[in-house]
Amino acid sequence: MEDATVVELPCRTVIPAEVDHLHEFGWVKLKNFVDPDVLRRMLEIARERMGDDADSGPSDDGDTSQGASDGENQGPIAYFNVGESAGLTDPVIRPLINEVGKNARLLQSRRRADGSAVGVRYYADYFVPKLPSNKPSRHGGNGATAYHQDFITFSVDRSGGLTFWFPLEAYGPAAGTMSFVNGSHRAGVFGDYTTYGDGDALDVFPELRDLGISEQMTYELGDISVHTHLTIHGAGLNMLDRPRWGYLLATQPADVCWNGSPTPNFDSTGMLPWQPLDDERFPLIG
């Protein structure tokens, strides 16, 4: 892919080669995508909310449901801790969300009948530190990330969603960074990871291995990765002696609807199946 440089915004604009890579492989690494100063400020926010060890904060009062935003209690997660970012109202993070929305519109590449681009909605954002595997954890979050697909967990009726994963420091494989199954976004829906028993998606659907798996990502500060919600991905253990600090932002196509299934991601009380996600919780950002 051709070189790209950072502009004087929270993040730059994706280039056509990056869009093509996402559509071919289901993932793309965007080098020099975010202003490093923005990431440093985000890391300060994350540490204030979750503690320097990423294992402190609100959950110390006995509430281990760090992950759900206005939704059902999803409990602790084995492979990273989850912290609310309040990104839609945060003066540091909201400008980044808005710029990511513009990029998501380019990356999802959906068109209406009249040829205009389908817009993008915010869906969720969280701090997602993976804790060191060689230390005990009060709230989980220090395990490997089994290979899985995100789509089914979001309880939406159509594909097109994207996850933008921001490392808040420079990390390599030793930190437990992600790998992606190349082209798996074209292979269909593979169910919820909780149905895999003691295995993961690669065990239950061994044909996925034939597609090839990317190397674990290596990120310099400012690099991020993006994957579709149909892309199979996983991550290793964090072998460092400190948290692997990350932030994720999930987007959906503007015309997305709730499919009626339970979700920990939003409160569906009073909603009807196939209802558009078009209220203030899911603003248009692109």
Average pLDDT over residues 223-234: 98
Secondary element (H or E) of residue 247: strand 246-253
Q: What is the CATH number of domain 16-253?
A: 2.60.120.620
Token code pair at residue 250: 């999930």
> pLDDT by residue (tens digit) across 8-53?
689 999 999 999 999 999 999 999 999 999 999 999 999 999 999 8
Q: Which residue has the tokens 């009062």?
A: 61
- 265, 71 Cβ separation under 8 angstroms: yes
pLDDT digits (tens, 9 = 90+) for 119-130: 999 999 999 999
> 119-148 as b/e, with b when 16 or more CB fall inside 10 Å?
bbbbbbbbbbbbbbeeeebebbbbbbbbbb
Per-residue pLDDT tens digits for 193-216:
889 998 999 999 999 999 999 999
What are the φ and ψ backbone dihedral angles of 194, each rounded to 5 degrees? -70, -10
How many C-beta atoms lie closer than 10 Å to residue 48's C-beta? 10
pLDDT higher than threshold 90 for residue 218: yes
Kindly report the backbone phi and psi dihedral angles of residue 236, in degrees, each rounded to the nearest multiple of 5, phi listed first.
-85, -175
Domain boundaries of the chain, sorted by first residue: 16-253
